[in-house]
A and B are shown apart, each in its own frame.
Chain A
Amino acid sequence: MSALAILLNFISIVVAGIFAGLLGSLTGLGGGTVLVPVLTLFYGIPIIFAVGASLISTIATSAGSASAYTKQRIANIKIGVGLEVATTTGAIIGTLTFAYVNANKMQWSIYVIFGSVLLFSLFPTIKKTLMEVPPDIPADWTTKLFQLTGSYFDAKLKKIVNYKGVRWWAGEIVMFFAGFISGLLGIGSGALKVMGMDWAMNLPMKVTTTTSNFMIGITAATGSSIYWRLGYIQPFLAAATAIGVVIGSYFGAKILVRISNGDIRWIFFGILSFLGVEMILRGLYLNHIISTPPLIQFAISLAVSAMMIGSSYIVVRMERRRIIHVR
């Protein structure tokens, strides 16, 4: 390949990184969720390098946008660090599992697990389009012991939101799995982190997504150190994706403070459901469980994701109308 062709290839990977970083920080799910499918499906990059580059770039997505959120004091660093006890432990075990899968030539299973995790991340995301601030539930013994209270100024609601978290132990359990998935798939696993803080601990969505963004970097740093020694990081690729996601996440953070929670999830849902179905099909194809040619897989993924978005959109609209009607 000529130097010019290599340069163009490098730039095109940077562009993929920008795209991934933008979506990753907008949702708090991290750039890797978009980056791994894009690199493997469209660039034909081996999954070990895609996962390696993705995980290390995820740190950049996280740090870039978390720097903006901590300054605005939306992210709760104390809660984040406390939950990192579980995510870093999970990340170590997840990374070692990824090494085992690679040593045993079972990479196809990573595609299938990746796609499934992606699709399952979407359900809690869709459900939450209906709510900005969580229902008020009474404090429990963990609220006081682990100091799970805080407040932030919501620019859209134009008021200070006071909140209190509950069920710290449930949050830790979910976070362990979030860390495990992060190490196994090279993603920030923000969806699971968001679920841990939102569903288990009842924290507001803005606090959840921004704290998750902050935590993703710490989890990813744990996994990346092990990946480095195992040789899963291709420096040339990681350089391109890191540059891309930093740019993408920078703009993502700027946009996030201006748009509502509901809007964010709809954009994300569409693209991710497509990538999720496509990853599952590719995994099954690689293991010869299905023999559908890639172009047909592409069409199937497009149709299935269109159906999923369409039906979810209708359900959410009906639910919204019902809520308004009840009021």
Chain B
Amino acid sequence: MSDEAEDRFDTIISWALKIGVVVSLCLIVAGTMIVFIHNGSNGFSLNTLSNMDSNTAVNSSEIHLLDIASGVASLSGMYIIALGLWVLIFTPISVVAISFVNFTYGKNRLYMFMSAIVLFNLFLAMIFIT
């Protein structure tokens, strides 16, 4: 790969990481503010949401990925936080995806194959394993 192409690749990745973190942080901050303003979210009081007891706390298993879109549309603070956290999880995944495209474009078969395995592991973790 030429130096110029490599430079462009590094810049794209740097931007993808930056945008991912900024968007995620904005969503998390906005969601938190809404939770505090509404004194809770999704029928849970602020007290319940901030409870950290391992048996009774509100945790991520109660927030289903498919409900996030409708939750965000109804401006639910908790779902906006959840969306922010998922944007965070997707940020490094997008970088691997960009690398995959870059290696494919640069005809680097070995690294194309390796980035495909990494993507496979990431999606395996997200969808199949519980």
Residues of A within 8 A of B (CB): 1, 3, 6-7, 9-10, 45-46, 48-49, 52, 56, 59-60, 62-64, 66-68, 70-71, 73, 77-78, 81-82, 84-85, 88-89, 91-92, 95-96, 145-147, 214, 217-218, 220-240, 242-243, 246
Contact = CB atoms under 8 A, between A and B. Distances in A.
Classify chain B: how many residues form its interface, as a range: 35 or more
Contacts of B126: 225
B32 A239 contact: yes
Given A84-B96, A146-B110, A243-B25, A70 B59 contact: no
Contact of B118 (A81, A223, A246): A81
A233 B60 contact: yes
B110 A231 contact: no
B17 A67 contact: yes
Closest 5 A-B residue pairs measured CB to CB? A231-B61, A217-B92, A88-B121, A67-B17, A233-B60
29 contacts: A1-B47, A1-B50, A7-B36, A48-B54, A60-B88, A62-B92, A63-B18, A71-B10, A73-B7, A78-B99, A81-B96, A81-B99, A84-B96, A92-B124, A217-B91, A218-B96, A221-B122, A221-B125, A222-B121, A229-B60, A233-B59, A233-B60, A234-B52, A235-B60, A236-B32, A236-B35, A236-B81, A239-B28, A243-B28
Interface in B62-85: 62-63, 78, 81-82, 84-85
Contact of B52 (A45, A60, A147, A230): A45
B114 A52 contact: no
Contact of A66 (B17, B35, B52): B17
A235 B50 contact: no
A66 B84 CA distance: 19
B85 A238 contact: yes
A46 B54 contact: yes
A30 B68 CA distance: 28
A3 B14 contact: no
A221 B78 CA distance: 20
Nearest to B120: A88
Contacts of B63: 228, 235
Interface of B: 7, 9-11, 13-15, 17-18, 20-21, 24-25, 28-29, 31-32, 35-36, 39, 46-47, 49-50, 52-54, 57-63, 78, 81-82, 84-85, 88-93, 95-96, 99, 108, 110-111, 114-115, 117-118, 121-122, 124-126, 129-130
B20 A63 contact: yes
Contact of A89 (B10, B20, B25, B121): B121
A220 B114 contact: no
A218 B122 contact: yes
A56 B39 contact: no
A240 B50 CA distance: 11
Contact of A88 (B32, B35, B111, B122): B122
A67 B98 CA distance: 14
